[in-house]
A and B are shown apart, each in its own frame.
Chain A
Amino acid sequence: MVNYIWLFMIVSGVVAGAVQGELDLVTQAALKGAKEGVAVCIGLISILVFWLGMMRIAQDAGLLEKLAGLLGPLARLLFPGVPRDHPAMGYILSNMSANLFGLGNAATPMGLKAMEELQKLNPNKKTATPAMCTLLALNTSGLTLIPTTIIGIRMEYGSANPTEIIGTTLFATCCSTVAAVLLDRWFRQRSLDAG
Chain B
Amino acid sequence: MFEAISFLSKIIIPALLAFIPLYAASRKIPVYESFVEGAKEGFPTAVQLIPHLVAMMVAVSIFRETGALQFYLALFKPLLAWVHFPEEVLPLGLLRPISGTGALAFAESIFRSDGPDSYLGRLASTMQGSTDTTLYVLTVYFGAVGIRRSLYAVKVGLMADLTGVIASWFIVSQIFGS
Which residues of A are in contact with B by a Cβ distance under 8 Å? 1-2, 5-6, 9-10, 12-17, 20, 22, 25-26, 28-30, 32-34, 36-38, 40-42, 44-45, 47-63, 101-103, 106, 108-109, 111-112, 115-116, 118-119, 125-128, 130, 132-133, 135-137, 139-142, 144-150, 153-154, 157-169, 171-173, 175-177, 179-180, 183-184, 187-188, 190-191
**Which residues of A lie under 8 Å from residue B8 when comparing CB positions?**
101
The answer to whether A180 and B156 have CB atoms under 8 Å apart is yes
- Select from chain B the residue with minimum beta-carbon distance to A53: B39
**Which residues of A lie under 8 Å from residue B166 when comparing CB positions?**
175
A10 to B98, CA, bound (A): 13
The answer to whether B148 and A52 have CB atoms under 8 Å apart is no
Chain B interface secondary structure, helix, strand, loop or mixed? Answer: helix
The answer to whether A57 and B31 have CB atoms under 8 Å apart is yes
- Select from chain B the residue with minimum beta-carbon distance to A113: B41
A25 to B62, CA, bound (A): 8
A9 to B6, CA, bound (A): 38
Tell me the smallest distance from the CB of B148 to a CB of chain A, in Å. 4
Contact of B159 among A101, A146, A183 (CB under 8 A): A183
Contact of B29 among A61, A132, A180, A188 (CB under 8 A): A61
B42 located at the interface, meaning its Cβ lies under 8 Å from any Cβ of chain A in the complex: yes
The answer to whether A5 and B154 have CB atoms under 8 Å apart is yes
The answer to whether B149 and A44 have CB atoms under 8 Å apart is no
The answer to whether B126 and A172 have CB atoms under 8 Å apart is yes
The answer to whether B157 and A112 have CB atoms under 8 Å apart is no
**Which residues of A lie under 8 Å from residue B57 when comparing CB positions?**
33-34, 36-37, 40
B107 located at the interface, meaning its Cβ lies under 8 Å from any Cβ of chain A in the complex: yes
The answer to whether B129 and A147 have CB atoms under 8 Å apart is yes
**Which residues of B lie under 8 Å from residue A34 when comparing CB positions?**
54, 57-58
A50 to B34, CA, bound (A): 12
B91 located at the interface, meaning its Cβ lies under 8 Å from any Cβ of chain A in the complex: no
Tell me the smallest distance from the CB of B133 to a CB of chain A, in Å. 8
What are 29 A-B contacts defined by CB distance under 8 Å? A9-B98, A14-B62, A29-B58, A29-B64, A30-B58, A32-B61, A33-B57, A33-B58, A37-B56, A52-B41, A54-B16, A61-B20, A132-B153, A140-B157, A140-B160, A146-B6, A149-B104, A154-B111, A159-B116, A159-B121, A168-B122, A168-B171, A175-B130, A175-B164, A176-B131, A179-B160, A180-B163, A187-B156, A188-B152
